[in-house]
Amino acid sequence: MTYLDHAATTPMLEAAKEAYLAAAGVGGNASALHSGGRAARRIVEESRERIADRLGAAPSEVVFTSGATEGNNLAVKGLYWGRRDAEPDRRRILVNPAEHHAVLDVIEWLARHEGARIEWLPVTVDGRVEVEAVAEVLATGSEDIALMTLMWANNEVGAINPMADIARLAADAGVPLHTDAVQAVAHVPLSFAEPGFTALSLTGHKFGGPTGVGALLLRKDAPVVPLAHGGGQERDVRSGTLDVPGIAALAAAVTVAVDAQQAEAERLTRLRDRLIGRVREVVPTAILNGPESDRLPGNAHFSFPGCEGDALLMVLDAAGVECATGSACSAGVAQPSHVLLAMGSTVAHARSSLRFTLGHTSTDADIDALIAALPSAVERARAAGLS
């Protein structure tokens, strides 16, 4: 199979596998006081330090989670509750309608059950939130704002938001800012030390770590109410027995991904641009979604007019090419992409889309395989739609 769905999950790096197996040989609970527990705790704290070093955070700001969905829930719900409880009028949440559902569904739940008021930040036709749009919203006043949550890079169309500039606006306005950086960590330079960031979510399986482990970078002074209560681990913000092998593997993957980020971005950009050019050659009606440039290096997102994206995906899969119609977390749900709709696309355009994403195992041969299969797959999918 030709794998072009790295934005959903990318294969584990060898360094991450080795770190996992080595840590799995240490049998202690990291909260225990005996020698086995201390050995496990040492692995956790060394991993915390490595992640903090690579992402511009203090070690005390690294809170381990089960992944980005938990991290997003903890950051958004926790910050909302903390701010609202201290100042009951702070109920407004600024959010981008093209966010991942792990943020959108949290916001909508808070609106239904906890009195939150949603204010949607405008999205450009290429999927970005502009600095000027955020400045305009903040200029109306921030006295009732609980927080702002804005993804660093869009998981579907690859658009990169100007997060450092937006974070400075948030800092000036006194508004806590959470960013879902799941797609950004391995592909764009970022630092949690930049002024204005309150919380940042990441997950290991997007950059060569294991599934089921992630981290929330969280300022020490962030007023966060925990989601779960128990043993008081992770600053009493995220109780639960720590996954020591997973944390070791996460740290190894972060280290490799960040250290290789510039060179790997250049390599993937070349592959991505070749993929985009070749798709346009063999299927001239294909429409690239998202920005032409300044997008994630491994992301190519197209609409194929006359096709249903799900049908085209299955035809390509039968031909040995694995890709996606959008977020893997909403796979199997027969709905048009909410990201494309937020960008102003029609329902028909949104339903005809496919996402091809590249990662550390991708080569020119993967692109060749896609191009060999794509024209006939498009013809078959269009014919199926007409029948």
For the record, the structure tokens of 203 come out as: 């997950």
The residue from 22, 329, 371, 372 that is catalytic is 329
Answer yes or no: 329 catalytic. Answer: yes
Write the CB contacts of 271 (distance below 8 Å, at least 6 apart in sequence): 298, 358, 362, 363, 364, 366, 367
Contacts 24+ apart (CB under 8 A), 128-136: 128/159, 128/160, 128/161, 128/162, 128/291, 129/96, 129/161, 129/166, 130/162, 131/162, 131/165, 131/166, 131/169, 134/94, 134/166, 134/169, 134/170, 135/169
Question: 323, 5 in Cβ contact below 8 A?
Answer: yes
What Rg do the C-alpha atoms of the chain give, in angstroms? 21
Using CA atoms, how far apart are residues 88 and 116, in angstroms rounded to an integer? 11
Residue 207, Cβ density class (10 Å: 0-12 exposed, 13-18 middle, ≥19 buried) = buried
Give the distance, in angstroms, between the CA of residue 184 and the centroid of all CA atoms in the same chain.
7
Residues annotated as part of the active site: 329
